[in-house]
């Protein structure tokens, strides 16, 4: 995620990091080449009576802009839902540990064990969503008594949820937690399960491919033919106007594709590493487990991962 300080309007015009411009530079270069070809061959194809006017492109451009708006709204809704789910996870982790420490004030070691399972859960979910190897974080965080069970599981995130439920059941069996309190704590475990399922739903259910494909094809066909419609009226200004219009459509299409998958590692994706560090810092602080990990900060390009 890009986290920038307030900038002067002119500096923002020149911003590069976090923009989709680096991803579409080659495509804009192709549009520029098509514009040059349109200018050089204008007299030739006019001789065959072949002439493109700006009228159909005006109508098509409005339609594409509307559909791109819907596409971006759908992608942004997925991004916001993913952020709300991870925000809810921070709240749920804090509430869970607060309940455990309030119910079992004398069992500091037990509270640390449960907090370790919580921290491992958040890091494991992050690795699951980004399809990265979470072995190092799991070895660092999972308590020894649960380590083999979690490490040997094909679904470690779900297994950690089961371990937390087992831990809670053990405390109930010992009589340390009453049935009423157990139900209250178990409700927060159910909330973690709902959050994990919501994230899996977003990661595993992209926007329908056919809808994305038809918009993708229409945008590129529009941008490819646009210079031939502009050449008759704009002549040598065709490349400038064509590239500018194409930049608008291509950047919106590229941004929608980027926001559609909010759990990735691109600059405009969610900072899952930073949120996992936030959860770990909070839980360790509640257990007086010092020193705390350093807070996650944006890098030199203002990107927070």
Q: Is 303 within the bounds of a domain?
A: no
What is the reported pLDDT for 243? 93
Q: Is 296 within the bounds of a domain?
A: no
Q: How many domains does the chain have?
A: 1
In this structure, of 36-45, 190-199, 235-244, 269-278, the range with the lowest mean pLDDT score is: 36-45
Q: Look up residue 296 and give its DSSP letter.
A: P
Domain that holds residue 178: 9-286
What is the reported pLDDT for 104? 86
Q: What are φ and ψ of residue 303, in 5° steps?
A: -100, 125
For residue range 119-160, list pLDDT tens digits in order.
999 999 999 999 999 999 999 999 999 999 999 999 999 999
Task: Please measure the distance between the N-terminal and C-terminal CA atoms of the chain and give it in whole angstroms.
Answer: 6
Q: Is the pLDDT of residue 43 over 80?
A: no
CA 189 to chain centre: 24
Q: Is 26 within the bounds of a domain?
A: yes
Q: Is 297 within the bounds of a domain?
A: no
Structure tokens given for 186: 């178990």
Q: Is the pTM of this model over 0.75?
A: yes
CA 14 to chain centre: 24
For residue range 230-285, list pLDDT tens digits in order.
888 888 889 999 999 999 999 998 888 888 999 998 888 899 999 999 999 999 99
Q: Is 142 within the bounds of a domain?
A: yes
Q: Is 302 within the bounds of a domain?
A: no
Q: Is 280 within the bounds of a domain?
A: yes
Q: Is the pLDDT of residue 13 over 70?
A: no
Q: Is the pLDDT of residue 116 over 70?
A: yes
Q: Is 107 within the bounds of a domain?
A: yes
**Who's near 257: CB < 8 A, 6+ residues apart?**
75, 212
């Amino acid at each position: 995620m890009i986290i920038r300080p307030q900038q002067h309007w002119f500096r923002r015009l020149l911003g590069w990091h976090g923009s989709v411009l680096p991803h579409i530079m080659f495509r804009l270069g192709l549009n520029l080449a098509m514009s040059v070809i349109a200018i050089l061959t204008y007299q030739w194809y006019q001789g065959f009576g072949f002439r493109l006017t700006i009228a159909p492109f005006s109508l098509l451009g409005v339609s594409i802009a509307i559909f791109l708006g819907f596409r971006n709204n759908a992608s942004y809704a997925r991004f916001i839902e993913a952020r709300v789910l991870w925000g809810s996870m921070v709240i749920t982790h804090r509430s869970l540990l607060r309940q455990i420490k309030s119910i079992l004030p004398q069992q500091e070691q037990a509270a640390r064990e449960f907090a370790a399972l919580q921290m491992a859960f958040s890091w494991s979910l992050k690795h699951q969503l980004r399809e990265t190897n979470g072995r190092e974080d799991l070895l660092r965080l999972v308590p020894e008594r649960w380590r083999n069970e979690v490490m040997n599981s094909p679904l470690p995130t779900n297994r950690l949820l089961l371990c937390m439920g087992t831990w809670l059941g053990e405390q109930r069996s010992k009589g340390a937690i009453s049935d009423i309190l157990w139900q209250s704590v178990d409700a927060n475990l159910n909330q973690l399960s709902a959050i994990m399922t919501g994230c899996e739903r977003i990661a595993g259910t992209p926007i329908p491919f056919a809808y994305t494909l038809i918009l993708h094809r229409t945008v590129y066909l529009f941008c490819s033919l646009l210079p031939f419609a502009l050449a008759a009226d704009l002549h040598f200004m065709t490349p400038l106007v064509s590239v500018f219009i194409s930049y608008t459509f291509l950047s919106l299409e590229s941004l929608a594709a980027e926001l559609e998958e909010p759990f990735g590692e691109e600059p405009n994706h969610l900072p899952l590493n930073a949120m996992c560090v936030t959860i770990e810092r909070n839980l360790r602080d509640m257990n007086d487990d010092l020193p705390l990990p350093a807070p996650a900060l944006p890098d030199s390009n203002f990107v927070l991962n």
